[in-house]
Each structure stands twice: as structure tokens, then as C-alpha cells.
Structure 1
Amino acid sequence: MKQIKCVIMDWAGTAVDYGCFAPLNAFLKVFSEEKGIEITLRQAREPMGMLKIDHIRAILSMPDVREKFTVRYGRDWNETDVEEMYRSFEKHLFASLTEFTEPIPGVVETLDSLRRQDIRIGSTTGYTAQMMEVVRPGAAEKGYVTDFLATPDGLPAGRPAPYMIFRNLTELAIPSVQEAVKVGDTLSDIREGINAGVWSVGVITGSNEMGITEAEYARIPDGELARMKEEVRRRMLGAGAHHVLDNITELPAYIETLNERLNK
């Protein structure tokens, strides 16, 4: 009998760092403060989930940002610019990363309940191994631990390529892509899951796509909150998500649905 044997979690914005603010703040400092190129919050967040140097390339490739760069510097951007900006991004990120390792509400309890059903917990990330050496122990001190972590280092590519998921399936000895669920808060996460052939699930609350703090979430009127969530849901479904959770606590019920589907 087939059943879900593995959940592969993203980290920032899905498991920890409500709203995915650690990388956002670093990107804004690099572009706006250091390079003098104003970018919107949406532009900074749109490629989130990718390997961070690829994220910088993605922002620079946006027509509006490319034009601003050309106007300011009299030329198009190049890889020397990317490498310089990435070094600066790392400096800003490492300066604050320890402050963004708090598990998102409901995550620890939900994954503990799945473990009691013998479901393994894997993980992928847009962070490098060096960055995860800060995030992983900080999250563990607060109760969040995974059975395996794959970073993009040493693989052919990061998201949306499927290689980190394949590493999880191998290391956790999952016999079929049909028996694994990828959970993430970005469009890159969802595309990673689709490219790997696993069930690809988005989560709205706490996500990069919502892009708000927990305190802001609590203050938003119900009607406005519902509208914002529906917009995020549409983007995630548009990226190919098989399903979108309002929050992580809905995951066990969805897995039950998948188990029934697998055995029809």
C-alpha cells in the first residue's frame, strides 16, 4: 500500500523566520543603500527561494531594475557586479541571521505529529551550507529539527531545479516520488517540487508571498486578510502547486487525502 513517507520542508518563510525577512532585509540594503538602485518589496521577494547569488541575478534581470542600473552606471550589469553584490549580501545576512531562527507557529507541533506516523522530515533551502550552519542550530535550540538538510552547494543548480529534493529522497530512502510532499512558501519552492515530480504544496501564513510580520497579520481586518491570502493562493496555484495550505497545521489532513488518493 502506497502512502506518504516523507515531507520535505523549506526553511525561511516556511519553517522559521515568519514572513521571510532575513534575506529580504539584506537584499534591500545591497540594492537601495549600497548600489543606489531602488527596488520594490515585490521585486526583492519575487525570486525568493532561489540560491542567493541567482536571486541577485534575477532581480538585476528585471526590466525596470536593469534600466535603473543602466541609467545610474551608464552600462549594463555584469558578473563582476553580481559577485560584488553577493559578497555584500552575505555580509548583511550573516550580521542578522541569528535573529531569524524562530519556528513559525504550528510548525514544530505539526511535524512532531507527522513523525509519530513514521513520516520522515527532509528539507531544502535557498541558503548555502555556511548560512545553514547559523540557522540550523538556532532553530534546533527552539525545537525545530529535520531528519535531513540539502543545500545547493555542490549540486548542478539550486531551485527551481530538483536536485536538492532528489538528495532528500536518496538519503531518507524514499522509494517513490509519489510518496513525498514538498512544502514551501515561495514560487521557487513550488516549481522545485513540480520539477522533482513530488506533490508540491504551498503554505500561505508566514510566507514570503504574504510578506508580513506576525504582528501585522494579527492587525489586518478579516476581509483584507482574506483578499491577500486569495492573491497568494492564485500565485502559488499558477506556479503549479497541487494544493495550497492556509497554514502548516492543515498539512496532516492533506496528507490523509493524498494517502486515500494513492490507494484508489
Structure 2
Amino acid sequence: MNYSNPSQLQAAILDWAGTVVDFGSFAPTQIFVEAFAEFDVQVSIEEARGPMGMGKWDHIRTLCDLPEVAERYRKVFGRTPTDADVTAIYERFMPLQIEKIAEHSALIPGALEVIAKLRGQGIKIGSCSGYPKQVMDKVVALAATNGYTADHVVATDEVPNGRPWPAQALANVIALGIDDVAACVKIDDTVPGILEGRRAGMWTVALTCSGNALGLTYEGYRALASDTLASERKRIHKLFEASRPHYLIDTIADLPQVIADINQRLARGKCPRATDSGTEQY
């Protein structure tokens, strides 16, 4: 048997918060702040947003490793945070997250229409998240009431290693019956999520304005002056630069033109790993 490149996309692997739901990715960030506050340790929204995209335990561990946060913790407890301390914060984070997730469950404008268009092209919809399954089950149920159901969902604690490891993306490939990772595109608003797709051998699309990096509501995003938006795009593009996404777009509403471009590349025999001449911006 001879290998041949796929000629068109077979699956889109979508992130959740900041990609399909929760414009600005507020649900996880605010809860990190509240969970640390219950231990009398201050963490800012900006600090909480830093490791976004990782599994939540790993996210908390990364926050605790920040010298500033570790010092605030030491002043309260007389030591820097151990893994046991991280677990204690995580165990407080979880019920807070489940309690508040409905407050940030609205679908991102254009998401349903784009997903319907992808399905109309025969593209399967996989998904994964930095949320653990206990939270993910509630996110999935809330999204279903708003009309969105993915073909497959993989939570971060359902694989040996979460993002930026490729396991969640690859679990979708297996479950959806995809025959080549080059026929998949990973869409995410975080650097760990783009690295996940890259390491899985997929096409990657970074979302610059609907998620964690911009950190605004949809109304706030729409109200930005054009020069401010251009400056923010430039800043966010630099944040994603090292993860080497194939495409950069504002929100999922801009995805169809990217899908068309990837299909044209595939038809010409191109594949994700061999397409490194530069990131396309739409």
C-alpha cells in the first residue's frame, strides 16, 4: 500500500471556552481568582489568564510557580505551595467552577452557523478542553440547550496528559474514525491548545479576539476602536508566534474561509507539517 495525502478535511477539533462558548473565556479565569482568594492569596485576572488552555490542576501548579504568587502564598502559610497545596486549591476550584459555569455558557456569535456549514461539507466535529470531565459534562449539557452538540468530547482528565500534549486531539481522531491527522484542523484560543494541534500533526487555527488573549466580552470587542483593535491583534499575534499556528483569525465566525484554504492546500498535496512558510491572517 502507498501513502497519499488526504485531499480534504475530515474533522475539526474545537476547543470550548473562548472558541465555541464563553466569549472572552471568563468562566475559568474568574474562578481561579476566587479559589485562591479562599486561601487568602491574591491572584489577578491577568495572572490567572497566563497558563490558560492547560488542564486545571496544571494551571494552578503553574500559577503557584510564579515567583510573585509563591511569595504571597509563603507570607500566608510560611512556605511555598507544594503539590498537596495545589490539590487543595484545585479541590476548592472544582465546586466553584461547576457552580458558576452557567453564567458564562452562551455560544459565541456565529458558532452554530459555522458548525452547520462544516457538517454540510462532511466535516466531523470533535472537541476538547482544559476542563476536567466533571465540569465538561455540565458545559456540554448547557451547550446542548443552546443548540450545539459536538460529535465527540474529550476532557483533560480522560487522557494521560493534557495540553500542550497531543493526547486529547488524537483521542478525537480515534473516536471519530479519521484516517489521517493531516485531514484534521485544531481550532483554539490558547497557546497550549495550538501546541496540542501542532504536536498531533494537524492544521491549526488560533483565535485572537474571542478568547483568553483579548479577554473582553463580545460587546467589548465590538466596541473597540479600529486602531485599538489593530494594536491588540498585533500584540496577540506575537503571543501565538512561537506556537506557529497555520492561521490567525478573530473568531470562529471567520473559520469558513480558512477551511476553504486548507482544502485547497490539501488538494495541491500540501500537509500541515510541510506548511511552515508563514502564518495566514484573516
Instruction: Please state whether the residue corresponding to 2:157 is helix, strand or coil.
Output: coil
1:13 is aligned to 2:6: no
Aligned equivalents of 1:246, 1:217: Cα separation in 2: 10
AA aligned to 2:17 is A
Cα-to-partner distance string for 1:155-184 (whole Å, 9 max, x where unaligned): 211111111111110111111111000000
1:151 is displaced (CA, Å) by 1.2
Mapping for residues 94-113 of structure 1, pairs under 5 Å: 94-113=98-117
Instruction: Indicate which of 19, 38, 56 corresponds to 1:34.
Output: 38
Residue among 171, 174, 184 paired with 1:170: 174
Distance 1:206 1:13 in 2: 5
Task: State how many pairs are aligned.
Answer: 263
Out of 211, 220, 243, which is 2:215 matched to?
211
Question: Is this contact kept in 1: 2:133–2:158, CA < 8 A?
Answer: no
**Contact 1:237 1:243 (8 Å CA) reproduced:** no
Q: Which residue is 1:158 aligned to?
A: 162
The amino acid of 1:13's aligned partner reads G
1:231 pairs, out of 228, 235, 246, with: 235
Residue deviations 1:122-180 (CA, integer Å, cap 9, x gap): 00111111111211111111111111111122421111111111111011111111100
What pairs up with 1:44-193 in 2 under 5 angstroms?
Answer: 44-193=48-197
1: CA distance between counterparts of 2:257 and 2:161?
33
Please identify runs of 4+ aligned residues in structure 1 that moved more than 6 A.
none
Q: Report SS of the residue matched to 1:244.
A: strand
Tell me the secondary structure at the aligned position of residue 153 of structure 2: coil
Instruction: Give, in whole Å, the separation in 1 of the partners of 2:75 and 2:243.
Output: 33
Matches of 1:184 and 1:104, distance apart in 2: 13
- Aligned residue for 2:41, secondary structure, equals coil
Structure 2 unpaired stretches of 5+: 1-5, 269-282
Task: Tell me which amino acid in the other structure corresponds to 2:26.
Answer: F
Amino acid of the residue matched to residue 75 of structure 1? R
Q: Deviations over 1:227-261 (max 9, x none)?
A: 11221122123222111112212212111111121
1:215 deviates by 2.3
Once the two structures are superposed, residues 64-93 of structure 1 have per-residue CA deviations (whole angstroms, 9 ceiling, x without a partner) of 212222233221211221111011111211
- TM-score if structure 1 supplies the norm length? 0.95
Listed as ranges, the gaps of 5+ residues in structure 1 are none
CA-to-aligned-CA distance 1:23-53 (integer Å, 9 cap, x gap): 111101122x222322232210111111111
Q: What CA RMSD, in Å, does the superposition of the two structures yield over aligned residues? A: 1.3
Change (3 A) 1:251 1:218: closer
Amino acid at match of 1:241: P
Once the 2 structures are TM-superposed, how far is the Cα of residue 112 of structure 1 from its aligned partner? Answer: 0.4
Percent identity of equivalent pairs: 36
Quick check: 71-80 or 165-174, which moved more? 71-80
Residue of structure 1 in register with 2:279 after alignment: none
* 2:260 is the alignment partner of 1:256: yes
Q: Which amino acid aligns with 1:56?
A: I
Say whether the 8 Å CA contact 1:139–1:145 is kept in structure 2: yes
